[in-house]
Amino acid sequence: MSAVSTMDRSPGGASPESATAGGPVRRFASWLHRHGWVRLGVLLSAPMAWLVVAYLGSLAVLLVSSFWTVNSFTGDLVREPTLENFRTIFAEPVYRNVAIRSVGVAVAVTVIDILIALPMAFFMAKVASPRVRAWLVIAILTPLWASYLVKAYSWRVMLGNGGPVDWLLGGPGRGPGYGLPATILVLAYLWLPFMILPIYAGLDRLPNSMLEASADLGGRAGRTFRSVVLPMIVPAVIAGSIFTFSLSLGDYIAVQIVGGKTQLIGNLVYANIGTANNLPFAAALATIPVLIMVGYLAAVRRSGALDQL
C-alpha cells in the first residue's frame, strides 16, 4: 500500500492545465494517475475475478450444495438446507475409516517420497557433475510427460499375478498384489518428481562453503546433515510435502486401477457423482479433504516454514 499512496500523493499538486489540455483519454489517464487505488483495482480485476469466481466461488458452491439433498428416486435436487449429509458422514463409521485410511495413504506416500528424494536431490545438487546433473533432471522430468493412466496401468501389469514384481520377489503370488500397499507404492512413484524438484532447488541454494565450514569444524556427515543441511531445506521439504500430500489425498484413479477393493475419499466422491448421482453428498464428502488440507496448511504456517519459501 505504501508504494501506491506515495504515487497517489506526489502528483496531487501537479498543474491542472496539463489535465484539461488533453482529450478525454488523457483526462481519464490523469484521473487514474491521481486515484492510485482505482488503477490498482482495474489492473488486478482480471486475476482477482479469476481467483474469486473460479476458485473461491467453486469452493463456496461446494459448501452450499453440501447442505442440499437429492430426491432418491427421480434424482432431482432438493434445495432445502439440511444437515442430513453431514449427519450421515459422522454417524456411519465407514466414512471415518475411509477418511483415516486416505490420510494414512497421503502420509505414507509423503514419507516415502521424502526418504527417496533427500539422497537423490542431494546427489544431484552437490555430488553429480553438471553434465550428469542435467541428465538426472531430465530423467526425473520425463515421466511427468507420460500420461498418468499409462503409468498407472503399467503398474497394474507389473503388480499383477506372475508379473515382474512377483518374479523379483521369488515367484507368483510373492508380490504385494493389488491393494493398499500397491496404492501407496504407485502414488509414491507418481508424485516423486514433485518432491525431488523442490528439495533439489533448496539444496542448490545451499552454499557449498557451509558444508566445508562444518567439515572444518570437525562435523561428520551425519552431524552436518542434521545441523546444517536439514534446517536449510525444511521449507523445501514442506513445499514438496504439500504437493505429495494433497495429490495423494485427492487421488481416486490409481487406487481404482491397483487398489483392489480399497476405497479412498476420492472414490467415495466419484461414486456419489457417477453411480449414485448424489452431488450434495459428494460435496459434503469433498469438504473432508478440504478441511484436512486447511488444517495441514495452518500447521505449516504456524511452523513458520511458509515464510521462507
Contacts of 303 (CB under 8 A, 6+ apart): 238
Minimum distance of other proteins from residue 92's CB (angstroms): 6
CB of 12 to other proteins, least distance (A): 27
Q: Identify residue 216 by its one-letter amino acid code.
A: D
**Contact residue for other proteins among 60, 144, 169, 221 (CB under 8 A):** 60
Count of positions (residues) in the chain:
309
Pick the closer one to other proteins by CB: 220 or 301.
Answer: 301
Site for other proteins contains 199 (CB under 8 A): no
Pairing relationship of beta strands 69-70 and 77-78 according to DSSP bridges: antiparallel
Q: At closest approach, how far in Å is the CB of 268 from other proteins?
A: 6
Kindly write out the interface string for residues 249-268 of this chain, putting x where it contacts other proteins by CB under 8 A and - elsewhere: --------x-xxx-x----x
Q: How far is the CB of 86 from other proteins (least distance, A)?
A: 14
Ramachandran region, residue 307 (left: φ > 0; alpha: ψ -120 to 50; beta: rest): alpha
**Beta carbon of residue 84, minimum distance to other proteins (angstroms, whole number):** 11
For other proteins, which residue of 74, 129, 147, 208 counts as binding (CB under 8 A)? 74
The backbone torsions φ and ψ at residue 77, rounded to the nearest 5 degrees and listed phi first, read: -70, 135
Confirm or reject binding of residue 78 to other proteins (CB under 8 A): yes
Q: How many residues bind other proteins (CB under 8 A)?
A: 48
Binds other proteins (CB under 8 A): choice among 21, 49, 56, 298:
56
Pairwise CA distance, residues 223 & 234, whole Å? 16
Task: Using the minimum distance from each CB to other proteins, give the nearer residue, 235 or 280.
Answer: 280
Per CB under 8 A, does 178 bind other proteins?
yes
Could you tell me which of 123, 308, 299 has the C-alpha nearest to residue 234?
Answer: 308
Residue 298 binding other proteins, by CB under 8 A = no
| Region binding other proteins by CB under 8 A among candidate stretches 29-37, 108-116, 129-137, 152-160 | 152-160
Long-range contacts of 116-124 (CB under 8 A, 24+ apart): 116/188, 116/192, 116/195, 116/196, 117/192, 117/195, 117/196, 117/199, 117/240, 118/199, 118/237, 120/196, 121/196, 121/199, 121/200, 121/202, 121/203, 122/203, 122/229, 124/196, 124/200, 124/203
- Among residues 5, 45, 88, 142, the one that binds other proteins under rule CB under 8 A: 88
d(CA 137, CA 38): 45
Selected from 143, 162, 164, 171, the binder of other proteins by CB under 8 A is 162
Between the alpha carbon of residue 229 and those of residues 175, 262, 307, the distances in Å are: 36, 38, 18
Chain residues in the site for other proteins (CB under 8 A) = 52, 56-57, 59-61, 63-65, 70-80, 88, 92, 94-95, 97-98, 156-157, 160-163, 172, 177-178, 257, 259-261, 263, 268, 271-272, 274-278
